[in-house]
Amino acid sequence: MDFLSPVWLWMYAGAFLMLAELASPGFVVFFFGLAAATVSVLKYVFPSMPLWGQLAAFSFLSILYLLVLRGFLKRVFVGEKQESPSVNNEFVGRVGRVVEVVRPEVPGRVLIGDAEWSARSDSRIEPGTEVRVVAQENLTFRVEPI
């Protein structure tokens, strides 16, 4: 068996393209490799297939596989994406108590749940005052008195 025959060359190209998918994002190159492997099988079954027929089959099969199989296989291999709730949404609306004076220019400390957090406010809030979280800016909460 001649390992440089068109059958083997198409198979090599297909294997290379399928492996190249591992280094490229998007899940596209794989289908060109699948088309090349299919042309290899077609060339084996129909040995008199001319080069233009092989190239036409490769083009047609590449487009067909991309359109028909990509969406299905992408869901199988990548899976469904679920967004987790944002940390901002988790604390906004929660009630806490001021532990250290909160001022607009200097962050103070508030107790929310069982943890102390850095907090700012548009007005001065004294320790012991109940506050509600209205926003989060990185690790500092923006609070307002209740």
Is the whole model's pTM more than 0.75, yes or no?
no
CA distance 135 to 138: 10
What length is written for the chain?
146
Q: ∠ at Cα 57 (54, 58), nearest 5°?
A: 85
State the Cα–Cα distance between residues 83 and 95, nearest whole angstrom: 25
Confidence of residue 1 (pLDDT cuts 50, 70, 90): low
Summarised one tens digit per residue, pLDDT across range 102-113 is: 988 889 999 998
Domains of the chain plus CATH, in order, are: 6-78 (no CATH), 89-145 (2.40.50.140)
- List, for residues 5-28, the tens digit of each pLDDT value: 999 999 999 999 999 988 987 788
How would residue 72 be classed by pLDDT, with cut points 50, 70 and 90?
Answer: confident
The phi and psi torsions of 77 (rounded to 5 degrees) equal -85, -35
pLDDT given for residue 139 in this prediction: 85
Asked if residue 77 has pLDDT above 80, the reply is no
